[in-house]
Amino acid sequence: MNKLIAASILALAVAYPTTAQTPPFDTPAPIAYLEDLSSGAVLYAKDADRRIPPASMAKMMTVYVAFDLIKQGKLKLSDTAEVRPETWKKWHSQGSTMFLAVGENPRVEDLLNGIVTLSGNDACVVLAEKIAGTEEAFVNLMNQQAKKLGLTNSQFGTSNGWPDEGRTFVTARDLAHLAKATIQDHPQLYKQFYSRTSYTWGKTLGAGEAITQGNRDPLLGRVAGADGLKTGHTEEAGYGFTGSAEQNGRRLVMVVAGLDSYGGRAEESVRFMQWGFRAWSPQPIASKGKRIGEVEVQGGGSGSVGVVAPRDLNATIPAGTSPKMTGKLVYLGPVKAPIKAGQHIADLIVETPGMPTQTLPVVAEADVGEAGFFRRVWLGLTSFFA
C-alpha cells in the first residue's frame, strides 16, 4: 500500500538570516486572493473560501471545457455553430453581448474571442449548444470538469454566469485554481485568446454592421506582462476580476470580488498585482536539473530513482529579507513503475518560519522500467520474508 513519505533533505539557511514578515497590504475588496504560481506561495488571502456568485468569471470554465475538447481533437477552431432564433431572442440584449445574429454560422474561434474578449453571454450559449446540444447538457460538462480540477467549492448552473438564484457559485481560491489550470494545461490557446485588447464582429465577417468592442481586463496595458483573464459584474455579485501576469519568470494569479464600482475594480486590480511583484521576490532554491533526492520505486528494475528540478526552482519571500528555509521531499510511495524521465513524482515542500509552506514540483531523473521476471521473483521473496 502506498503511503505519504516525507524526508527532510535540505537546509536552506543563508549566512545572515533575517525574519520574514508578510509585507503589509489592505484592500477594500471584501474578497481577495493572490498566488505566485512559480512557487505555489499564497501571498494574500481575504475570505478566499467564501462562496460567491462569479458573474462572467464563470465563463472561464466554459472556455476551459472548449480548450480541453480542442486539445483532445474533439472540437476544432474552424468548426461552425448555428445561432438559433430562440437563443438570439433570449440573449441578444441580455447583459454583455457579441451581437450575434440569427442565421449566422460563427466559428468556434469566433465564439471563443466573443467570450474571452467581449464577454458575450450570447456567444457562451451558442458555443454550449454547439458542443453539447443544449446549455443544460453543457453545464454538466462544466461541473464534471470542475470536479476533475478539484474545485471543491464551485458549482455551475449556466454557461455564462448569469444570475440563477444561487445555483452557480465559486470561491476566489477556486477561480485562481481554474485560471492556473487554463494557463498550464492549455498554454498556446491561452496565449491566443486571453490577451486580445479588442475584437470586431459583424460586417467584415459577413453579417450586419461591424462592431468593435474592447477587452475589460483592467491589467492589459497597465501592468507589465499582463495577459488575462476575466472580469465579471452583476448587481448581485458586484465587480470582480480574475487576472494574471508574468514578469521575469514569475507568474501571479489574482482574484478580487465584491467591489462596488468599475473604476474601483480597475484601481484595486492594478494595485494588487503590482504589490505582488514589488513587495515579494524570488529566492533561488535549485537550478534546473539539480538532484534533489531519491524516491522509492515499487515493481521496478531499480528500487529507487533520483528526482531533479524540472526548471529553476524559486521560493517567494518578502523583498529585502533573507529568511532561513528548510526543504522536505514529499511523495506518495513507493512510486509504481514504469516511470518516465521528467515525470512529476514528488514535491519539494519549502518551509519558512512565519510563512505558509510553498510546494515546488520535482521530476524523475531517469526512466525506470518494470521489473523483469527474476527481479519480480526476488522482490516477491524479500517481501514475503519481510
What are the catalytic residues? 56, 59, 119
Task: Output the nine-digit C-alpha cell for 290.
Answer: 539539480
For residue 135, the SS3 value is: helix
Cis before residue 338, ω within 30 degrees of 0?
Answer: yes
Cell of 343: 515525470
Is 294 within 8 Å of 305 (Cβ atoms)? Answer: yes
CA distance 273 to 243: 9
Cα separation of 369 and 271, whole Å?
51
Rg (alpha carbons) of the chain, rounded to whole number: 24
Q: Which residues contact 226 (CB under 8 A, 6 or more apart)?
A: 195, 217, 219, 220, 243, 244, 245, 273
d(CA 139, CA 126): 13
- The total of other beta-carbon atoms located within 10 Å of residue 292's CB is 23
Cβ-proximal residues to 64 (8 Å cutoff; 6+ apart), any chain: 145, 149, 178, 181, 182, 185, 186
What the block records as the C-alpha cell of 19 is: 525574519
